[in-house]
Structure 1
């Protein structure tokens, strides 16, 4: 299960499970990078 992701902007995002990680990453993208939109699969591809 992937629960961590490092955004290229330097933000570390961690979730308790993959669903939480995706939700937290999408919230970060909406707040910090509104021009970017990644799918669940794309987020999990970048996660570890």
Structure 2
């Protein structure tokens, strides 16, 4: 299960499970990178 992701902006995002990681990553994108949206599959592809 992938629960961590490093955004190219330098922010480290960590979730309790994949669904939590996806939600936190999408919230980060909405707040810090408006207009940049990724699907759950794209998020999990770059997660570890």
Aligned length: 48
Q: Extract unaligned runs of 5+ from structure 2.
A: none
Q: Extract unaligned runs of 5+ from structure 1.
A: none
**Distance in structure 1 (CA, Å) of the matches to 2:9 and 2:35:** 14
TM superposition shift of 1:35: 1.4
Q: Tell me the TM-score normalized by structure 1.
A: 0.99
TM superposition shift of 1:6: 0.1
4+ residue segments displaced more than 2 Å: none
Q: Tell me the TM-score normalized by structure 2.
A: 0.99
Q: Does 1:11 align with 2:11?
A: yes
